[in-house]
Copies of this chain bind each other. A is one copy, B any other.
Amino acid sequence: MTRALAITVSTRAAAGTRTDLSGAALVAGLRAFDFEVDGPLVVADGEPVDAALRAGIQQGYDLIISTGGTGISPTDATPEITTRLIERLLPGIPEALRADGVKRGIPTALLSRGVAGTAGQTLIINLPGSPGAVRDALEVLAPILGHAVDQLSGADHQGADQP
């Protein structure tokens, strides 16, 4: 069973001055995939993201998804912090999420700097910090998360050696 960790990155949610709707949407969406989901862990923007991701990697989650901090406001630093911990980037994931946002009529989706990639056998994906963006992203990710987690764990390919 896929073990997933949801992390909300929001200084205001961490301070309790905003309700964490994005994290709730993320946990609900991942549970709908029948994953075993922990979180949302709620952390402030910046270095607290580093500690949360490191702990999740060490605890061996198959999947860590964050929501928030992917824009270009002065405090947005989730992509930089995530990139430091990633061994192999998967540029196709943020690419597909941005393209999907634009197709849905949200042109500012292309300002998301979120990254995705692997750290050991953990797949890490940054999502923007809104419940709508989280729900849209999970629709895009639905057909690939299982395959990605299997590949990461070294499961052998069946038939062709794709991709």
Residues of A bordering B, CB below 8 Å: 10, 12, 18, 21-22, 68, 70-74, 79-80, 88-96, 98-99, 102, 107-113, 118, 123, 128-133, 143-144, 147-148, 151-152, 154, 157, 160-163
Bound-state CA distance A57–B130 (Å) is 31
Residue A72 contacts which of B21, B68, B73, B148 (CB distance < 8 angstroms)?
B148
Residue A111 contacts which of B18, B70, B144 (CB distance < 8 angstroms)?
B144
- Tell me the minimal C-beta distance from A121 to chain B in angstroms: 8
Complex copy number for this chain = 3
Residue A71 contacts which of B22, B68, B110, B163 (CB distance < 8 angstroms)?
B163
Bound-state CA distance A68–B107 (Å) is 25
- Tell me the minimal C-beta distance from A137 to chain B in angstroms: 11
Residue A90 contacts which of B107, B111, B152, B161 (CB distance < 8 angstroms)?
B111
Given A92-B98, A98-B95: A73 in contact with B113 (beta carbons within 8 A) = no
Bound-state CA distance A94–B147 (Å) is 20
B91–A113 CB distance below 8 A = yes
